[in-house]
């Protein structure tokens, strides 16, 4: 095994090159351009073909983006805008019967009382909404399609950040590029990135987590500000986007504990402050935004979706919670499949990737040792997968006033952990010199993506 131990951590470099390790900028931009062609080619086809709104609350996400773009902040119980209702009716949604297009039906004639029930922070919607308003003003596409293109940009940004993160980990571009190119072929990620949904920011959030961990353990930069700021940003896009950073916090604490006797410990010890910043930023966004939402919601308002996904707790919540403690490790999830987007190869492909990606962190933990920086990629990934169900249950418990739990946690809620899994896989690929296999897999991913976009 090559030496990438914590004791061999290189000196800090104070120039632009440190952003992408030792990679030439010229080749970096060539690879990024290839990612852009991949994402926008198949993404544009998907958006053009599948015009109906997704059952994953796309109408509510669309309304949130539209209102923020027009200087409004929807509150729990606020009515969907007339523009959103019209778009919903005219586009349709395969699992719902909606009022006719152009009927100007009232909110009460729509599902969920025609209300916006989303509780997410507004940053994702502010960015996507501003982009969609500017693009739709050109008259080429409407606001909904422009907002969907914004989701594609989030996916591309995530792929670029993850690629840069793997370069910081000193992964050769011949390994990093094909590994990252596989990401859009994961059904749930591609579906979220071709609809209006804040899950489109998941790869961006996870890529930043991989970058933050590499910045600390490979470049020896254990500052408090960077991981704290990253966590605040990703949690402001979606609170559960902070899950991979929680995994990073755990990995840094473990690094400090297991390397106590090393000559590098004084710098490793600073990781504890980084971890404190990560946890603090997560709590600040979560608690702060919940307070804002509680203060602005309609008095006595109850979500129209209350009880749909949650169940009542009987006695203490531990029996209910323990049933889901390992649910973050079960599958990366094929998820909901809209009938107009069904592709049989996707099922087999996602199942195959699920096995490979979920095993990868544990392979890293077995193959490497705690004095090797790469070991902590596996530790961060496992920590994030364990943190996912705990975070979902805590959110549900607090939001319900301690009366409910969430019985069916899927990896859709933890899509931001997927880049950590890809980082672990890239470490194994590099160590075993499976570069050709990585390129063949990337080629197969493009074929699956093309089939899903063109023929499904």
What are phi and psi for residue 424, nearest 5 degrees?
-65, -40
Q: Distance from CA of residue 262 to its chain's centroid?
A: 35
Which run of H or of E encompasses 78?
strand 78-79
Q: Tell me the pLDDT tens digit for each residue of 134-152.
A: 999 999 999 999 999 999 9
Tell me the CB-side half-sphere exposure of residue 253, using CA atoms within 13 A: 13
Q: For residues 220-248, give the mean pLDDT.
A: 94
What confidence score (pLDDT) does residue 383 get? 95
Type and span of the H or E element at 311: strand 311-312
Q: Which uninterrupted H or E stretch holds 404?
A: strand 404-405
Question: pTM score, two decimals?
Answer: 0.92
DSSP H/E element including 115: strand 115-116
Q: Is residue 366 pLDDT above 80, yes or no?
A: yes
Residue 309 has pLDDT above 80, yes or no: no
Q: How far apart are CA 377 and CA 198, in angstroms?
A: 25
The top-scoring range by mean pLDDT among 18-27, 135-144, 219-228 is 135-144
Residue of 145, 139, 141 lying closest to 65 (CA atoms):
145
Rounded average pLDDT over 203-220:
94
Q: How many residues are listed for the chain in this entry? A: 456
| Residue 192 pLDDT > 60 | yes
Interval 94-114 mean pLDDT: 93
- d(CA 72, CA 88) in angstroms, rounded, equals 20
Q: Find out whether 334 and 188 touch, Cβ atoms under 8 Å.
A: yes
Tokens of 441: 């897999």
CB atoms within 10 A of CB 390: 16
Q: Confidence class of residue 264 from pLDDT cuts 50, 70 and 90?
A: low
> What is the chain's mean pLDDT, rounded?
88
Give the residue from 95, 115, 114 showing the smallest Cα distance to 55: 95
Question: Residue 116 pLDDT more than 60?
Answer: yes
Residue 261 to residue 369: CA distance in whole angstroms: 15
pLDDT for 279 equals 94
Alpha-carbon distance 145 to 398, whole Å? 35
What pLDDT does residue 10 have?
A: 44
Determine the Cα–Cα distance for residues 393 and 416; give it in Å rounded to an integer: 17
Q: Please name which of 286, 321, 288, 311 lies closest in space to residue 400, comparing C-alpha atoms.
A: 311
Per-residue model confidence as pLDDT tens digits over 378-426: 999 999 999 988 888 887 777 666 777 777 777 778 899 999 999 999 9
Instruction: Tell me which range, 216-220, 353-357, 410-414, is most confidently predicted by mean pLDDT.
Output: 353-357
Q: What pLDDT, on a 0 to 100 scale, did the predictor assign at position 318?
A: 72
- Spatial CA neighbour of 192 closest among 296, 332, 386, 16: 332
**Distance from C-alpha of 21 to C-alpha of 219, rounded to nearest angstrom:** 9
Bridge partners of 78, per DSSP, are 116
Pairing type for strands 404-405 and 78-79 reads: unpaired
**Burial letters for 242-253: b for 16+ Cβ neighbours within 10 Å, e otherwise?**
bbbbbbbbbbbb
pLDDT bracket for residue 306 (50, 70, 90): confident
Q: Poorest-confidence range of 8-12, 65-69, 255-259?
A: 8-12
User: Which whole-number Å values give the CA distances from 437 to 42, 208, 433, 441, 444, in the listed order?
Assistant: 23, 26, 9, 6, 10
- 251 or 345, which is more confident? 251
Say what angle helices 418-432 and 344-367 make with each other, to 10 degrees.
70
Task: State the pLDDT at residue 1.
Answer: 44
Q: Which residue has the higher pLDDT, 375 or 320?
A: 375
Between 333 and 421, name the one with better pLDDT: 421
Per-residue pLDDT band for 265 (boundaries 50, 70, 90) equals very low
> Could you tell me where the DSSP H helices lie in 105-220?
123-136, 143-168, 173-181, 187-192, 202-217
The winner for highest mean pLDDT among 319-323, 325-329, 386-390 is 386-390
pLDDT at 263: 58
- Report the DSSP beta bridge partners of residue 187: none
> Residue 2: pLDDT above 70?
no
In the three-class reduction of DSSP (H, G, I as helix; E, B as strand; rest coil), residue 182 is classed as coil
* Overall average pLDDT of the 307-316 stretch: 72
Give the up-direction half-sphere exposure of residue 439: CA atoms within 13 A in the CB hemisphere: 7
CB 373 within 8 Å of CB 217: yes
Q: For residue 420, what pLDDT is reported? A: 97
Q: Which of 102-116, 183-197, 248-262 shows the lowest per-residue confidence on average (mean pLDDT)?
A: 248-262
| Greatest CA separation for the chain | 72
Given the structure tokens 């009515």, which residue do they identify? 79
Please report, rounded to a whole number, the percentage of residues in the chain having pLDDT higher than 90: 62
Beta pairing partners, 115: 79
- Do the strands 311-312 and 78-79 form a parallel or antiparallel pair, or are they unpaired? unpaired
pLDDT tens per residue, range 40-64: 999 999 999 999 999 989 999 999 9
């Amino acid at each position: 095994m090559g030496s990438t131990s914590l004791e061999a951590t290189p000196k800090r470099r104070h120039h632009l090159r440190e952003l992408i390790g030792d990679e030439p900028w010229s080749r970096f931009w060539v690879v990024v351009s290839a990612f852009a062609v991949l994402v926008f080619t198949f993404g544009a086809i998907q958006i053009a073909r599948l015009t109906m709104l997704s059952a994953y609350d796309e109408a509510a996400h669309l309304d949130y983006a539209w209102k923020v773009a027009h200087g409004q902040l929807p509150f729990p119980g606020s009515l969907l805008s007339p523009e959103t209702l019209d778009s919903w009716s005219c586009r349709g949604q395969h699992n719902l019967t909606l009022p006719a297009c152009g009927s100007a039906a009232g909110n009460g004639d729509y599902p969920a009382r025609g209300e916006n029930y989303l509780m997410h922070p507004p940053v994702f919607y502010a960015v996507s909404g501003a982009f969609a308003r500017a693009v739709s003003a050109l008259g080429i596409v409407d606001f909904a399609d422009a907002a969907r293109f914004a989701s594609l940009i989030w996916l591309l940004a995530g792929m670029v950040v993850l690629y840069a993160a793997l370069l910081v980990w000193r992964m050769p571009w011949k390994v990093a590029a094909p590994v990252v190119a596989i990401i859009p072929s994961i059904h749930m990620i591609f579906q979220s990135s071709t609809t209006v949904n804040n899950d489109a920011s998941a790869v961006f959030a996870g890529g930043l987590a991989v970058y933050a961990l590499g910045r600390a353990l490979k470049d020896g930069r254990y500052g408090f500000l960077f991981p704290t700021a990253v966590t605040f940003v990703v949690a402001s896009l979606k609170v559960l986007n902070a899950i991979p950073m929680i995994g990073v916090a755990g990995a840094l604490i473990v690094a400090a504990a297991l390397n106590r006797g090393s000559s590098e410990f004084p710098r490793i010890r600073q990781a504890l402050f980084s971890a404190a910043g990560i946890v603090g930023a997560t709590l600040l966004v979560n608690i702060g935004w919940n307070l804002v939402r509680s203060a602005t919601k309609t008095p006595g308002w109850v979500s129209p979706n209350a009880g749909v996904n949650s169940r009542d707790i009987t006695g203490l919540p531990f029996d209910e919670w323990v049933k889901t403690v390992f649910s973050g490790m079960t599958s990366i999830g094929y998820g909901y499949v809209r009938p107009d987007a069904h592709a049989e190869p996707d099922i087999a492909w996602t199942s195959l990737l699920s096995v490979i990606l979920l095993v990868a962190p544990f392979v890293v933990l077995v193959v490497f040792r705690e004095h090797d920086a790469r070991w902590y990629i596996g530790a961060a990934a496992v920590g994030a997968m364990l943190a996912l169900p705990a975070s979902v249950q805590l959110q549900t418990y607090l939001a319900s006033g301690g009366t409910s739990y969430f019985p069916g946690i899927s990896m859709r809620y933890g899509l931001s952990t997927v880049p950590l899994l890809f980082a672990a896989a890239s470490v194994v690929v590099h160590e075993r010199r499976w570069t050709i296999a990585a390129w063949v897999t990337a080629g197969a991913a493009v074929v699956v993506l093309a089939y899903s976009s063109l023929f499904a």
